[in-house]
Structure 1
Amino acid sequence: MRAQSLLCRLGLVVASVTALAGLPSGAAAQTSTGSIRGYVRDSSGTAVAGARVVAVNVQTSAQREATTQSTGFYSIIGLAPAEYEVTARQIGMTAQKTRVRVLIAEVFPLDFKLAASAVQLEAVTVAAAAGVETRTSEVATSVTPLQMERLPSTSRNFFDLAVLAPGVTVAPDFVNLSSSNAGVTDKSFSYGAQGPGQVNVFIDGASLKNDLTGGESGIHGGTFGQDASRGNPFPRGAIQEYRVIAQNFKAEYQQSSGAIIVATTKSGGNEWSGDASFGYQNKDLVAQDSISRAQNFAKPDYTRYLAALSGGGPLIKDRLFFFGSYEGNYQNRDALVNITGVPAPGLYPALDTVSFATYNGNFTSPFRETLVFGKLNYVVGSHSTAEASVNVRHETDVRDFGGFAAFQNAIDHGEDATTAILKYNYFAGPWLNEANITYEHFNQNPAPNALNLPQRWFYFSTSNTCCITLGSNLSTQDFTQKRVALRDDITYTGYHGGGDHVVKLGVSTSFLTYDLNKANNLIPQFFFSSNPSQGDAGCAPTCTGPEAYNYRVPFQVVWAYGSPLVNTNNTQVGAYIQDDWSPSSRLTINLGIRWDFESHMYNYDYVTPTVVRDTIHAYDLAPVTKADSLVKSQLDTTRYFTDGTQRKKFYGAFQPRIGFSYALDRENETSIFGGWGLYYDRTYFDISVDEMLKLTRPTYIVHFADPDSTPVGNQVAWNNSYMTADTTVLKALVSSPTRAGREVWLIANDVKVPKSSQFNVGIRHLFGDVLVSATYVGVRSWDGLVFNWANHALNPNGSCCSSNDYGHGFSSILYTTNSAKTWYDALQVEITRPYKRTGNWSWGGGLSYTSGARSVQGSGVVGDVFSTNPNSAAYPKHPTNDEKSRLVANWTLDVPYAAGFQFSGLITVGTGPRYSVGGYFPNSGYVPGGWTPPQYPFIFPGGWAYRDVDIRLRKDFPNISGTTLGVTVDVFNVFNFNNFSYPDNNNGNPAPNGLLSDPRRTQIGVEYHF
């Protein structure tokens, strides 16, 4: 009844807010806009009431205005990020005007001081205030249009420049995928001690949150598609600018317990203009990495073409504007298949017929991405605007082969995404309102590139070589997430009790559909070895000693059969209210609270099957093996068994947030700020549905007897007809229930939602044009979901593990706990100098420095939902990905006395992550984070394990009829540093086993503005 009552009340709130959409309102919500606030005073410092402040968008001539209150305070909210001409007027005073650039999610402080005048004169132009925000309580970094245009970026992925924000890391963009870089294919970002799954991205107010997939480990993800794609989630040419808010973001933002990116797209203006660019890179422009060179590998073929075209202008001057963008990312890279260690001919005659050498060679791995964006802006009238936009992404990537995996083993990874946004805005006086509808359709579809070839897996004992893979990739998956979202935000600036207030409230409702096809192990996998163990052969304890198969027949096959389909709906509801309260012109207090609810984050109506209940009860009633007693001791069945009513939906996601900023001087050059907030996130639906799929689609394991022996136990005699992907043959083969290696996944009925507490305090000071800030930030996250192993435990000596059998017909019994916790404490220093001309120099730059510590408890690795240790509680608090220090510097410079030359770059140095020593288990001398990689000097004081310098040189040719042609050269890792990675759980003195970045590579391009 309480839940029904709460939903009824929420429905009334939604209805009320929807009704308010007809009231005076404004442009976009703060998730895609900015604002200008300040005070108008006379020459003596006295507040001027009733003054008119008008902001005119230089690009579109759209006009917004506000009237000052008795304190002289004014606020123009909901401004599209752009350059504005702002004028302040009052009868009897000389008007003033200035130009400012408003950035996304920024509150631009702009004060006016008007002089008395007996005659109404033309507005006097005054110098603009410094283009930096000094009074926010957020820990945030803006990435400006100029930085987007000029700083080097390897693949036009707009995530690349998120590294300008202290504490933010971005997955590298590797030219070639090999053992040197661990086959990294995700392009994601993370903050602090939390993983990429805890971030969110808002583009024009639409959330790109990935509800479904985060990789089987859960350590990727965040935004849809980026958990498994090297592509760009959005065309860079359509992004005008964005803001990385690492901490203390306001109550209007949802579904993130880490950092968020808030981006706005470009719009057309009153003049037609456009841009075209082309970038090219091939293997001759890329150095070979030191690891491949040491192994005498030939440099593989590689080409990449980056094409972009965008343009916009008026369809009806001052009323209707269009902007469109296209980007293509076309790559061909060769991957080397190099199967070695094959036993000498004649040693195992059965292997001689396989002809492993015929699978070797370089094979092309094509990547194709197409991004198309279109947008219409319409000025409906003096108090209303409308906007419609569509973004389409299509991507294919043939990959995951090379080394010991034949080209047959490749997957064709597909990504498709469509996002459509419709906004209607109405504004007048102190009211601002935005109503919008968003439609999203995301699809991810990894599937075997070669179909219906049974997979053969080989282990060569003579050379200890593992694992040779021939045949199709094992699994076909299809994840579809559809969202229809309704959102309405209202802002009111007319309340002045106890000071000036900007009050904002909003409600959002998202209707989602999840369609999953997880046909894992769709292709049968046959295992070959010369002498598999008794356990692998499936004959223990009847047989004695290793079995002599000698590759004549496989010793086992693994195959899954059953329904892989899941279809369900989910509703996400959010509501918030926040107040930016200024008791005085120097103090601002940000107060807010947010509430979120999901109807189907977990399987709330799931019913524990009878077979699972009976199995667990069998452990309870008759503990005859070590595994039985383990299960009995670790599982409280009242927490994990459900008849569909025990799991309660979570209505308690109330998230208070508070922040402040205080100017220590009247000029607002020095301010202190701080904040605290509670932030809830979510768990991937992909993880929870396996509770059903592991039972409805079990994995079967069939053991075959060696050709010289009679089958024993559950073994069967081999028949050559079994080497097939024909489901009819395989169904008959696995028909015995004892061959089902099913897993039981038990999700606790009281499963919790992950959350974090964020807090910070800092100081900012403006030295002329340079803003310097120093901030202490802290994050504590808890209730992270982890799966534990009920029928496995450490041995008394601390080794692993006391059971690994198939007790009662199940290979594994896993159960969840909310045991994962993280800690992050850091000092973050940021120095920013906006681009501007000083004498003969036009330059801008910045530096961000982070010194911090990251720790995790209850999990081996941040974001990993599977505990390597059978019981996650055995993991004490320990360092994780704990890079102590990282420094990122950026600059852009118009080269003096060299007309048309621009020089820009990025420098990144870091002390490198700490690695664990020993194994994961107590008997192995496990020391989490016990080893730090070698450090080297470079430019900045201290030692650095990671060093990278990227530069960009551009030459603009003389302007012809209003057009500009530029030639660009980008060089990444210009000094060709080896940024090595090392094995985790090492011996304390490990050799490098991979690279954290590519070697030196050059990209040439041409850009044309018209």
Structure 2
Amino acid sequence: MKRATLALTLVLPLVLAGPALAQVTTASLAGKVSDEQGLPLPGATVEAKNLASGFTFRAVTKENGTFLLANLPPGKYEVTVSLSGMKPESQTLEVLLGQTATANFRLTVDQLFVEEVTVVGSKIIDIKSPEIATNISPDQLVYLPQRERNFINFAALAPGVYVDPREDSSRYFRAGASSAKQVNAFIDGVSYKNDMMEGGAFMQDASKGNPFPQNAVQEFQVLTQNYKAEYEKSASAVITAITKSGGNTFSGDAFFYYQDKDMVTLDKLSKERGLSKPDYKRQLGGLSLGGPITKDKLHFFFAYERNDQDRFNQVFHGPLWDSPNVPPELKNRLSQYATGNVKAPYESNLYFGKLSWQPNLGSTVDVSYYSRDEDERRGFGGQRVEEGAERFRITSDSLVTKWSAVVGSQSFNELTGTWQELRWFPSAFGSTPRQNYIGLLDVGSKDASQDFKQTRYTLREDFTTYFSYRGEHTAKAGVSANFMDYTIIKTLFPNGYYEYREAEHWQYPVLARLGFGDPKLAFSNNQYGVYLQDDWRMSPTFTLSLGLRWDYETNMLNNKWKTPSGLLSAMQNACRTYSQPVGGKTTWCLNEILDFNRFTTDGTKRDSYKGMIQPRLGFSWDASGHGTTVVFGGWGKYYDRVALNDIFDEKYRHSYKIYTFCFVEGACSNPIPWRPEYATPEGLAGIISSGQAPGPEVFLVANDMKPPRSDQWTLGLRQQLGSWLVGASYAGIRTYNLMAWIFADLPPGTTFNDRWSGQIPIPGYARAFKTTTARKSKYDALYLTLDKPYTADSRWGANVAYTYGKAKAFGPGTDGVIFALDYVAPQDFDWHPADFDERHRLVASGTVGLPWGFRLSSILTLGSGTPFTIYDASAGWNNFKVRFGDGRFEKRSFLGIKEWVYRSLDLRLDWESPSVGGVRFGVSGEAFNVFNYVNEGCPGWGTGFIPPAGESNPSFGKGECQFNPRRYQVGVRVSF
């Protein structure tokens, strides 16, 4: 069946050959042809020939002289306008991804005039779009400073978008007040949405790698807000990228970049801790090649990139290693484990291949394949010894076929078929029990192995037509079907986990954990989407963008799940009599506070949500009438989806049980006396079989849970000032239906300090939690942008994006699997600064051409920092308070402005030789954080803890890490 589905999705576009304008892969050129008196010229031929591929696209002007050249792959074109009796003339123009450029032509007997078009160099700049969009050009991808060749990093050039600069962190992007779960990324029109876990796209959770070969990316666009109805499964920002294609001449490149230990500065915090610089070496290499198979008809392109790193993690004894309380025999045993610098290798291989064919005028076929294999040894360092390492792997594979063609004279069609598999699977190397001797060493094998796999088969149809009715319309309609298969395998604590502490002289554990059972969850889900979009040019100066989208998923929430009968019976009989009244009563039963009909199911109560109706409206007004001053704005609804890992525990905790055992009085209410035989998994299993162990935790998903949704609105102004484009806009976002786990077993009236002991016990089970979608966020921002593209004439370009934003959250956090356990109930949620609340962010980039083949480029990044949570015990533990987002790191100065927590100036100097036989040789040197600014982050408990009166916390306000110290990198490149 799966083979048949694969064949259908990949071959159907070729069989049907349905002749299109794809919303995320192409550009358009529209306009009007008139004579000297301004009268329309019907029947004129407008032909655009791609200068690289030779592919030709043609349109004929209508009765009113208008034309539309849609479905244009972004790039440079020779545009020719001809009409019988007049001299044909040509103009070279460049169109950019996702933009509808407007060029009006005026023909005379002798010559051609191009009017009412914003041209910088040969690029046509679309300033009339209602979207807040940032285009990242091919030159920026090649010449701007780039530490690791991850094209996602350049998304930070867009206002309102943040990419974590830490090299060891997850390499994903986010925007506004939302987490990375709410973003999406499209490559050649194909969604790489990760339905299962953190990261939003590409399975980027915990990955330090590049998800896609940068030398295969031609350009990309970041849509911060107000994107049209064509885009699905995102309540936040969207990246849409297109890949390179071969042309009529053979071209390609090869590159190599190098960095080692001596090129990296040790950060200030590591120096204060007395740490030495670990060994390190990184090599980035790759090549690309494209060219003709048949001139003007069939071309190929291939790209490969490799990231090879020899990293070393530092393993060292804990602060209690020299304590006299350490038993000599234990110290002798732990001394056998290696400390110091321990090798942690990383490698990544990325492949991309593409065939492009134009069987006839206006019709194209693309077939592409992409593969990623990322492999790393990680999970150790600090007190965790090498024995605890895991093999961390991410793989991606995608095969895409796409047919697009002209239908008649004013319509286009595109049909896409995709097979895609994303996989994220860290695994343990050994199977020995983990023994964590707190303050000494943490030994034993990794206590978890996981495997997340997502398979997608997609069919997508997009149809575009251009017609006149009270103005000019570009109307689009599309439908998509995704057939999804999900598999999650989580094997946690299979060999036992034991935690020892100084209070017991590390002689026996304070607690242990053991997991066993069926760790697998697998099910299928079908996702359908349909949209209508009309860009209505009501007059030469006013355009209205009208869109409507509807999405539907058959099985987002594992709808066929059945609550175990044993659990249901236990909950129905769960009651407790308290010694003091709680909420006005002394006896409470669980069925009084929990809606069983809403939180339990027999496999039929969980209907798929049908309300993902998303109207979207935008406008642009050319106030000057010359395309130099444009007012724009819009409003829309955007739905996302619930990540599978967020609700995974509902089934998992019943099929794979995790038990926690407590052996010390005071650490829990009913400790189990320690016995030596408990030091093995078999011994812990004996406790379970004897009935002494507490039961598993209970997780209950609301049957009527709605997916996340955001309402967005925008109002802005764009102004062309010579070769500069200036933009100012207000952006507002309100996000709803954000999920969190909350206590399900606390009666009303439970106090904050009683939330861990005031539950109604469920016989045979531990604590119970339920979902709530009461969490929400709001974001208001002012975006200011300045753009001057690099041109051959001026030999310099610059881009500036400044964001002033306020992000607030209602309820806990905005990232990860959210547990609202610092609240008793959702009624206690309040508004506070969100995790991503950063008042000021400035990102500026620039490039200048220098004599003798040199080029200097830079990126300046300044951020005022995000908040951390205050844990306030200053009034005593009985009055303990959690103050979300109430702490801020110390601000530091840049150019006399003391407003910044993050500061970095990155520089790159390139030299490229003159062409010799079509071959160019180049070298580059890069410096990141040139001034070695201290950038503080990673807030922990100590960062925000205010102790009771009379006690002190020297760590208050200090981050647990410093990142992005000064680094250098050198590289070589050959191109032809």
Asked whether the two chains share a fold, i.e. TM above 0.5, the reply is yes
Structure 2 residue identity aligned to 1:637: F
Q: Which amino acid aligns with 1:527?
A: E
Q: Does 1:209 align with 2:193?
A: yes
Deviations 1:911-950 (A, max 9, x none): 1123333349993354433333333332485632221100
CA distance in 1, matches of 2:587, 2:343: 50
1:764-807 CA-partner distances (Å, limit 9, x unpaired): 01111111010000000000111101235899774363517775
Which residue of the partner structure matches residue 574 of structure 2?
Answer: 619
Q: 2:587 and 2:547 mapped to 1: Cα distance?
A: 51
Change (3 A) 1:555 1:890: closer
1:690 aligns with 2:649: yes
- Say which SS state the counterpart of residue 836 (structure 1) adopts: coil
Q: 1:737 to 1:602 in 2, by over 3 A?
A: farther
> What amino acid does structure 2 have at the position aligned with 1:438?
T
Does 1:258 pair with 2:217? no
Task: Please tell me whether the aligned partners of residues 17 and 404 of structure 2 are also in contact (alpha carbons under 8 angstroms).
Answer: no
Partner of 1:8: none
Per-residue CA distance 1:574-601 (angstroms, 9 max, x = gap): 1111111111121111111111111111
Structure 1 residues 689 and 91: CA distance shift in structure 2, 3 A? same
The answer to whether the aligner puts 1:113 opposite 2:106 as a matched pair is yes
Alignment of 1:185-584 (within 5 A): 185-214=169-198, 221-340=199-318, 341-344=320-323, 348-349=327-328, 351-356=330-335, 358-428=337-407, 429-449=409-429, 451-459=430-438, 465=439, 468-493=441-466, 495-531=467-503, 549-584=504-539
CA distance in 1, matches of 2:17, 2:544: 27
User: Are residue 952 (structure 1) and residue 930 (structure 2) matched?
Assistant: no
Name the % identity.
33
Relative to structure 1, is the Cα distance of residues 1002 and 596 closer, same or farther in structure 2, using a 3 angstrom cutoff? same
- Structure 2 equivalent of residue 10 of structure 1: none
Cα distance in structure 2, aligned partners of 1:284 and 1:353: 35
Partner Cα separation in structure 2 for residue 577 and residue 88 of structure 1: 32
- Give 1:610 deviation, angstroms: 1.6
1:844 match: 797
Secondary structure of 2:763 counterpart: helix
Residue number among 62, 68, 72 corresponding to 1:79 in the alignment? 72
User: Aligned partners of 2:17, 2:396: CA distance in 1, in Å?
Assistant: 35
The match for 2:676 among 711, 716, 719 is 719
> Cα deviation per residue 1:82-127 (whole Å; 9 max; x = unaligned)?
1111122233444442211111111112121222x2xxx5868999
CA contact (8 A) 2:416 2:460 kept: yes
- 1:158 matched to 2:151: yes
Distance 1:515 1:77, change over 3 A: same
The match for 2:950 is none
1:438-458 Cα distance to aligned partner (Å, 9 max, x none) = 000111111113x11110022
**Deviation at 1:656?**
0.6
SS in 2 for 1:616: helix
State the SS of the aligned residue for 1:899.
helix
2:105–2:113 Cα contact (<8 Å) kept: no
Identify if the C-alpha distance between structure 1 residues 670 and 558 changes in structure 2 by more than 3 Å, giving closer, same or farther: same
The question of whether the paired residues in 2 share the 8 Å contact of 1:487 and 1:506 is answered with yes
Once residues 741 and 847 of structure 1 are traced to their aligned partners in structure 2, the CA distance between those partners, rounded to angstroms, is: 57
CA distance in 2, matches of 1:629, 1:746: 19
The residue identity in structure 2 corresponding to 1:590 is S
User: Which stretch shifts more, 791-800 or 763-772?
Assistant: 791-800
Mapped pair 1:605 → 2:560: yes
Deviates more, 1:875-884 or 1:355-364: 355-364
Residue 972 (structure 2) pairs with residue 1006 (structure 1): yes
TM-score (norm 2): 0.92
How far does residue 379 in structure 1 lie from its aligned partner after superposition?
A: 1.2
Q: Which residue is 2:860 aligned to?
A: 907
Structure 1 CA distance for aligned equivalents of residues 396 and 92 of structure 2: 38
Q: Deviations over 1:423-450 (max 9, x none)?
A: 122214111011110000111111113x
**Using a 3 Å threshold, how does the CA distance of structure 1 residues 603 and 902 change in structure 2: closer, same or farther?**
same
Residue type at the aligned position of 2:901: A
Distance across 2 between alignment mates of 1:951 and 1:631: 62
- Does residue 787 of structure 2 align to residue 832 of structure 1? yes
CA apart distance, 1:294: 1.2
Q: Is the 8 A contact 1:350 1:550 kept in 2?
A: no
Q: After TM superposition, list the pairs within 5 Å mapping 1:748-767 onto structure 2.
A: 748-767=702-721
3-state DSSP class of the match of 1:358? Answer: coil
Cα distance 1:823–1:224, how it changes in 2: closer, same or farther (>3 A)? same
Tell me: CA distance 1:455–1:795, structure 2 relative to 1, closer, same or farther (3 Å): farther
Going from structure 1 to structure 2, the CA distance change for 1:624 and 1:436 (only over 3 Å counts) comes to farther
Whether contact under 8 Å (2:664, 2:671) holds in the other structure is: no
Contact 1:475 1:519 in 2 (8 A): yes
CA offsets, 1:127-154, max 9 Å, x none?
9823322110001000000100100111
Structure 2 counterpart of 1:790: 744
Which one is further off, 941-950 or 158-167? 941-950
With over 3 angstroms needed to count, the CA separation of the structure-2 counterparts of 1:19 and 1:281, relative to structure 1, is closer
Contact 1:393 1:415 in 2 (8 A): yes
What residue in structure 2 maps to residue 654 of structure 1?
A: 613
Tell me how far 1:953 sits from its aligned partner. Answer: 0.2
Q: Does the C-alpha gap of structure 1 residues 125 and 650 become closer, same or farther in structure 2, counting only changes over 3 Å?
A: closer
Query: What SS does the aligned partner of 1:419 have?
Result: strand
- CA shift at 1:977, angstroms? 0.2
User: What's the CA shift for 1:317?
Assistant: 1.0
Supply the distance in 2 between the matched residues of 1:597 and 1:277 (Cα, whole angstroms).
45
CA distance in 2, matches of 1:737, 1:146: 67
Contact 1:21 1:433 in 2 (8 A): no
Q: 1:930 to 1:325 in 2, by over 3 A?
A: same
Q: Output the CA distance in 1 between the equivalents of 2:72 and 2:401.
A: 17
Q: What does 1:659-808 correspond to in 2, within 5 Å?
A: 659-703=618-662, 715=672, 718-720=675-677, 722-724=678-680, 731-791=685-745, 798-799=752-753, 801-803=755-757, 808=763
Structure-1 separation of matches of 2:589 and 2:200: 36
Please report how far the alpha carbon of residue 526 of structure 1 lies from its aligned counterpart in structure 2 after TM superposition: 1.5
Contact 1:110 1:129 in 2 (8 A): no
CA gap 1:337/1:318 in 2 versus in 1, 3 angstroms:
same
What is the identity, as a one-letter code, of the residue corresponding to 1:636?
D
**How large is the RMSD of aligned CA atoms in angstroms?**
2.8
Residue 860 of structure 1 contacts residue 875 of structure 1 at CA under 8 Å; is this kept in 2? Answer: no
Please give the alpha-carbon distance, in whole angstroms, between the structure 2 residues aligned to 1:762 and 1:399: 46
Aligned-partner residue type, residue 637 of structure 2: L
Which of the numbers 19, 23, 43 marks the counterpart of 1:25?
A: 19
Deviations 1:834-863 (A, max 9, x none): 11144xx40111100100100010223445
Structure 1: how far apart are the matches of 2:14 and 2:338? 67
- Cα distance in 2 for partners of 1:602, 1:623 equals 36
Shift of the 349–506 alpha-carbon distance from structure 1 to 2, 3 Å rule, reads: same
Q: Return closer, same or farther for 1:346/1:855 CA change in 2, 3 Å cut-off.
A: closer
Distance 1:562 1:767 in 2: 67
Tell me the distance in 1 between the aligned counterparts of 2:741 and 2:881. Answer: 24
Does the Cα contact within 8 Å between 2:13 and 2:416 map onto a contact in 1?
Answer: no
Matched with 1:7 is: none
Give the TM-score normalised by the residue count of structure 1.
Answer: 0.89
Is 1:454–1:724's contact at 8 Å kept on the other side of the alignment?
yes
Instruction: State the secondary structure of the residue aligned to 2:208.
Output: coil
What's the secondary structure of 2:215's corresponding residue? helix
Change in CA separation of 1:628 and 1:274 when aligned onto 2, cut-off 3 Å: farther
Question: Quick one: structure 1 residues 922 and 91, their matched pair in 2 at CA, closer, same or farther if it must change by over 3 Å?
Answer: farther
